Amino acid sequence: MNVLFYIPVLSSFLSIAFGGNHWALLVAGSNGYYNYRHQADICHAYHVIRSNGIPDERIVVMMYDDIANSPDNPVPNNIINHPDGPNVYAGVLKDYTKEEVTPEVFLKVLTGDAAGVKKLLGREGKVINSGPDDKIFVNFADHGAPGILAFPNDVVSHHFHEERKVVDGRVEAKSSSRMVFYIEACESGSMFDRILESNINVFVTTAANPDESSYACYYDDKRETYLGDVYSVMWMEDSDKEDLSAETLQSQFKIVKKETNTSHVMEYGDLSMGKLKVGDFQGNLTSNNPLRSFALKFHPTLDAVPSEDVQMEVLKRKLSKSNGDEQIRHKAALDALMKRKDSTEQFFKNIVGLVTKFHLYDIFLRAPLVFTDFKCYRESLRLVREMCPSLDLVQNDYALRKLRVLANMCETDIPHEKIWAAIGKVSYETSFCTSAF
């Protein structure tokens, strides 16, 4: 079903009625068909805020845009976020696509740096050009790791380290009065926990705490992929049916936290902002939302899987219903994925083995993390990406989930140079690393 989700909007209504303008930045930070769900989440989010009155000129959408017309998509020009749901791809803005979806562009857009965008891309681009009474809603959906939000070819890293500068600068310059972030990613709480101050007019909710995966949901047999992520689906399904001019941010947080039993939904920053209305950030024209009457078939947690296991689960499902040559291909792909998983784990085990006398890998992997040393972790990430490019850190979900090992080692009294030397030695001696040179 194609639903255009277009409604005429009096763009001045929200500004006059509620004070200041509303802005939204929506980012799907992944590419590849198996990551279908991230772009589906963001397309759905666009229709939530668009139908609630935020005009296109104050919405910025960043997504790779390789899913709707992928050869793997059996329904061209179509993306859905619910089983048998409406086409949420129809009418969606495409402000930044393909190689333009980068951390640098994201930060320039968020800070309203139009000149910076033009310098990066060689063209004009829409930015969040907010004023002192405006409100900004940021929704990000992708993979994550300790202190990291992933983009197709890079990461925004270090525990809100760079983004915090952005937010602090905005608040100090009084260029925006309030900002709300909804973050869908594994270990997304690690970007904010004990880092984001409580007095800078920023309210954040995350799909997961600093130590766990977020979860994909709604597997679709026809499309052979997961359509959404549990946390994202839960907040949007709530926004689809609630009166956003009456519901508070704290009320929505509590609903999403209760319903998302696959991970621990968290909140950070200025929690006093929880008393503000959801509509202050997602728009107030709830009665115009065309998804309000959409009937859900089942709860998203019923088929939920950890984000890093999505590829494996998809291949297992394909394998179970195939035969002949097709089954052989799926079996080979699954075997290759499992080998990559084992090789990835061994890579990090070998690093730990070089810097400790005891078998501490499991301890470093499972111990809670409190960041204090960004420099060591940042350099460790750079070395892994540079010296073992075939590990494909940004696209390798299993590798992202093992970065806690490096982060925790950096927080011990192990000399940083010893950690970095171990990364170099293991990279040099590991066959799948050296084969890329």
- What is the C-alpha separation between 92 and 94, in angstroms, rounded? 6
Options 143, 158, 159, 330, the catalytic residue: 143
Within 8 A by CB and 6+ apart from 278, the residues are: 239, 242, 244, 247, 248, 249, 251, 252
Amino acid identity of residue 378, one-letter, is: R
Give the number of other CB atoms < 10 A from CB of residue 79.
28
Within 8 A by CB and 6+ apart from 1, the residues are: 86, 87
Within 8 A by CB and 6+ apart from 392, the residues are: 399
Look at the block and give the residue holding tokens 């920023």.
Answer: 202
Look at the block and give the residue holding tokens 């499992």.
Answer: 338
Options 38, 43, 47, 186, the catalytic residue: 186
Look at the block and give the residue holding tokens 């969606």.
Answer: 92
Active-site annotation holds for 186: yes
Within 8 A by CB and 6+ apart from 296, the residues are: 82, 237
Q: Active-site residues: which are they?
A: 143, 186
